Structure 1
Amino acid sequence: MEKQGGAARPNDIADTEKSSNVTISSGSATPPLQWQAPIDEKALVRKIDRRLIPILFIIYVAAFLDRVNISNALTMSLPKDLKLVGVERNIALTIFFVPYILFEIPSNMLMKRFRPHIWLSGCILAFGIIMLAQGFVTTYGGLLATRFFLGLTEAGIFPGSFYLISIWYKREEAQQRFTVYWCSVLLASAFGGLLASAIANMDGVQNIHNWQWIFILEGICTIVIGIVAFFLVSDFPEDAKWLNTDERKFVLTRSRGIEQVRSIAGRDVLVFFKHFKNILGGIMYLCLVIPVYSFAYFTPTILKTYGYSVVQTQLHTVPPVAAAFALCLIMAYLSDRLSLRSPFIAFGVSLTISGLAILMTVHDNLHAEYAGICLVAMGMFSSGPVIVCWYVMNLHGHVERAIGTAWMIGFGNCGGIIATFSFLQADAPIYHTGYSICMGATCICAVAAILYGAIAWKENKSLRARAQDDGTAEYYSL
């Protein structure tokens, strides 16, 4: 067996389980571990946190900021300079999602083959180069081309990161880590508004428009992050050179990373989709993504109809995101502490529905409408990471999680296409169609979550019955 350095192999792990007195009890989501080597589990988890989460967080701040910064540019002179008419601005938003959706599952397969530090850093580096190029487009066709390639290069980042996180942590540890990573979206949204308000004053500097400066400056920062990420992104536990041999074996055992450490075949994808509960994960995320992207892309546009200036519009996008950020952290802590997911999803969905109801019915009170925007942001952004964690951590092994994370994020982002055509300029300033679409999607999300919870409860019941016979079971979280 391997004693010094190098990644632990699956057979090594199996041998170590026998010799290191690792026990797995029935009916427990995570097995109690007995390890002869002097492993301090809490210190090891803190070490993983420091090495894994910060760089993934920074990568997605850059990726999401670069993805939605066009919403800020559209409130400036971009439509006039590129002569956008009719729904062309919506098409520019939509084309991003075509390669983004199609490349999700292949991307996770490629990440497993090439290793995360190579794949994720390569994706974000290419993304930054294309974002920089977008700052120099002069035609509508050029804008469409850069948006298409942005979608292609970003496709692997979000599902790949969730897949990687899910392999490193136990189920009862995962929610807080998923939420911290998800909050990169909120930070990007808030920071994007503040940054855009500052860049708005750069119009004409070096004979470059302010919307161009948004793409240029953020593209340069993203390129730097891509280079740094090559050295800081961690690989899977079996390949992590910053852990010693015993630590690698211990991490693989505690997170159930032993099984299915192999390449992913097409047959695995077919088997995955035989189970209806796996399909429900994509439906839940799809219906969450519709309001998420609707407000990520169109909040500045909606706020501008309230009579604010360009700078005031960007600044008013920050408070809803800040409130959502605080609620996200609170819900993540409580969810892990109580080992429950569905009640927190129900709470977030209820907030979203309440906010949308205000926006659909109140049209003459700016304070009430702004409060509605805040409720929608708090509800959808706080329930999002809980939905993702609930689904992903109920998947088992490398294969299920690689396929499941890519499926959920890939299919879910079809909602981005719907969102980009939900708020049309012709519907301003009431946007009844957009709000109605978001309301319908949120209600369907609630129904899908109820069905998923019912299936998980039913399968747990069957597992309890079988556990009485064979003494082992791994239950689904509720």
Structure 2
Amino acid sequence: MSQSSQKLEVDELYQKAEKMEDGSVISDFDPNSLEIRRVRRKADLHLIPIFSLLYLFSFIDRVNIGNAKVAGIEKSLGITSNQFNMALTVFFIGYILFEIPSNVMLKLLGPKIWISLVIVVWGGIMMAMAAANNAGSLMAARFFLGVAEAGLLPGVIYMISVWYTKREMALRNGLFFSMASFAGAFSGILAYGISKLHGKANLEGWQWIFLLEGLFTICLVPLAYFGLPQSPATAWFLTQAERELQVARLRRDAGPAKEEHFSWTQFRMAVTDWQVYMYIIGYFMGSAPLFALSLFIPSIVLSFKYDPVITQLMSNFGGHTKKAVAIGLIVSVGCVGGVLGSFIYRAEDAPLYTRGHTISAALTFVAGCASFVLRFLYIRENRRRDRLSPEERARAAEGEELCDRHPDFRYSY
């Protein structure tokens, strides 16, 4: 099907959804009806496994430098502990700078093309890290690895947000993020197996870790390109009737915040919205201990004087534009926590690392408090909107592209 004919088909589908919203069909939707459950199950079976697998390898590739440290990269390159910590930090600098641009590119090119490009680039950089021969080259590779990986996490979160209703997203995001925990265990086992290649082809164990794990990542490109649809309106795994139902129910769930075109107005709304910064606080506080433990668990275990091979095995741990920009902003600024996490566990605190564990626990507590406060504020705002008089509602609904500021929009928590 040509691009023009496909666009025409999508436009007709959205026009049909608009007509359904003006009539009685949408209002009669039962979210637990057999038809909707079938569409939701198809999305779960086709999308969540792909998202989870991509994130698994993304997380492995960003934290495998911890396994490389155990495999001797510091000694091989002649770098100090401070230089190693800087190599951890520069990843997050590249990651932070390119989160929002990556989500804008995702919206312009579509997930099928953009995420496939992202995987090729980050896998290639991962493999190139095997050629690092000093601290500078290692830091440069880590910086560009962060730039490349910046396109995945916020991109996938954004895709989940355009495929599921507000109340369906939490579970799917939870399943997707659970891969971070699995990566912690899987990374150690994988590094153990790969490090056994030490000496083969005159390469050290840490070089083999970067080479093979980067290659495994690139092998995921066909899965992303052929498995990810550009949008719910063009999903190949849904029938025509199911695509119409999916688009209609998502547009109904979006309510007044259904603008899908790129908008600088929504861009500005995202970067000035207090909610975004509440999420940033929670994500920052949660990501610092997450990345600290993910990066340093192999070193922490090694401090107990286990053999390096055993150490590897023991390391068992509203409007579319506004939505895209907000997600990118939350993840990018929140990932500054990863910079902090790079310095929480100091070598001189071994083997108990009391200081690092205390900081991690405190940050996790603050993240929980931020989530509680945000939930309270959402409840209060929804109730305020429920109490608006017809005149107050009419005044609040004036203007264009109000997105979630429209008085008919309700926050999910």
TM-score, reference length from structure 1: 0.76
Give the CA deviation at 1:250. 1.8
Match of 2:19 in 1: 15
Matched with 1:264 is: 263
Q: Deviations over 1:323-343 (max 9, x none)?
A: xxxxxxxxxxxxxxxxxxxxx
Partner residue, 1:275:
273
Distance in 1 (CA, whole Å) between partners of 2:6 and 2:204 is 60
Matches of 1:193 and 1:250, distance apart in 2: 44
- From 412, 417, 440, the equivalent of 2:362 is 440
Aligned to 2:160: 165
- 1:419 is aligned to 341
The 5-angstrom pairing of residues 282-431 of structure 1 reads 282-318=280-316, 321=317, 396-431=318-353
Kindly indicate whether residue 148 of structure 2 is the aligned counterpart of residue 153 of structure 1: yes
Find the residue that maps to 1:142 and give its secondary structure. Answer: helix
Residue equivalent to 1:475:
410
- Pick from 254, 279, 287 the counterpart of residue 249 of structure 2: 254
Q: Which residue in 1 is equivalent to 2:403?
A: none
* Residue type at the aligned position of 2:355: T
**C-alpha contact (below 8 Å) 1:7/1:248 kept by paired residues:** no
Residue range with higher mean Cα deviation, 183-192 or 411-420: 183-192
Q: Deviations over 1:31-52 (max 9, x none)?
A: 74799xxx82111111111221
Q: CA separation in 1, counterparts of 2:389 and 2:63?
A: 48
* C-alpha contact 2:26 2:249 (8 A) present in aligned 1: no
Aligned 8 A contact 2:42 2:238 in 1 = no
Q: Which residue in 2 is equivalent to 1:222?
A: 217
SS of the residue 2:379 aligns to: helix
TM-score, structure 2 length as denominator?
0.87
Alpha carbons of structure 1 residues 295 and 3: separation in structure 2 relative to 1, 3 Å: closer
Shift of 1:173: 2.4
Measure the CA separation in 2 of the matches of 1:120 and 1:280: 28
Give the distance between the partners of 2:281 and 2:301, measured in 1 at CA.
30
> 1:254 Cα shift?
1.6
- SS of 2:26's equivalent in the other structure is coil
Corresponding residue number in structure 2 for 1:68? 63
Does the 8 Å CA contact 2:42/2:237 hold for their aligned counterparts? no
The CA distance in 1 between the partners of 2:174 and 2:390, in whole Å, is 35
The alignment covers a number of residue pairs equal to 391
User: How much does 1:192 deviate?
Assistant: 0.6
Shift in alpha-carbon separation, 1:224–1:245, aligned structure 2, 3 A: same
Asked whether the 8 Å contact 1:97–1:416 carries over to 2, the reply is yes
> What residue identity is the alignment partner of 2:143?
F
Distance 1:47 1:447, change over 3 A: closer
1:84-103 alignment, distance < 5 Å: 84-103=79-98
User: Which residue number in structure 1 is paired with residue 187 of structure 2?
Assistant: 192
Structure 1 CA distance for aligned equivalents of residues 81 and 312 of structure 2: 24
Structure 1 residues 119 and 84, CA gap change in structure 2 (3 angstroms): same
Query: What are the superposed Cα offsets for residues 294-331 of structure 1, whole Å, 9 maximum, x if unpaired?
Result: 1100111111112221122122221xx3xxxxxxxxxx
Segment drifting more, 8-17 vs 290-299? 8-17
Q: Please state how far the C-alpha of 1:247 moved relative to its aligned partner.
A: 2.5
How far apart are the structure 2 equivalents of 1:437 and 1:188?
A: 23
Q: Write the distance in 2 (CA, Å) between the matches of 1:283 and 1:176.
A: 21
- 1:388-408: CA deviations, max 9, x gaps? xxxxxxxx2313321221122
Give the distance between the partners of 2:89 and 2:197, measured in 1 at CA.
Answer: 28
Alignment deviations for residues 176-232 of structure 1 (CA, whole Å, 9 cap, x no partner)? 211221122122221111111222322112221011110111111111112332111
C-alpha RMSD of the superposition: 2.6
Kindly indicate whether the alpha-carbon contact (under 8 Å) linking 1:125 and 1:227 is maintained by their aligned counterparts in 2. Answer: no
Residue type of the alignment partner of 1:431:
Y
Q: Post-superposition shift, 1:77? A: 1.2
Query: Which segments of 5 or more consecutive residues in structure 1 lack a partner in the other structure?
Result: 25-30, 322-395
Partner of 1:234: 229
Sort the Cα spacing of 1:34 and 1:437 in 2 relative to 1 into closer, same or farther, 3 A: closer
Contact 1:16–1:249 (Cα < 8 Å) also in 2: no
Partner amino acid, structure 2, of 1:6: E
Q: Secondary structure at the match of 1:202?
A: coil
CA distance in 2, matches of 1:6, 1:406: 30
Q: Equivalents in 1 of 2:57, 2:189: separation in Å?
A: 14
Contact 1:52–1:234 (Cα < 8 Å) also in 2: no
Distance 1:409 1:439, change over 3 A: same
What's 1:333 paired with? none
Paired residues of 1:108 and 1:159 also in contact (CA < 8 A): yes
Deviation at 1:257, TM superposition (A): 5.2
Which of 48, 56, 77 is the equivalent residue of 1:82? Answer: 77
Q: How far, CA to CA, are the matches of 1:300 and 1:78 in structure 2?
A: 13
Is the CA contact (8 Å cut-off) linking 1:200 and 1:310 kept in structure 2?
A: no
Write the distance in 2 (CA, Å) between the matches of 1:53 and 1:97.
25
Letter in 1 for 2:293: F
Q: Which residue of 1 aligns with 2:40?
A: 45
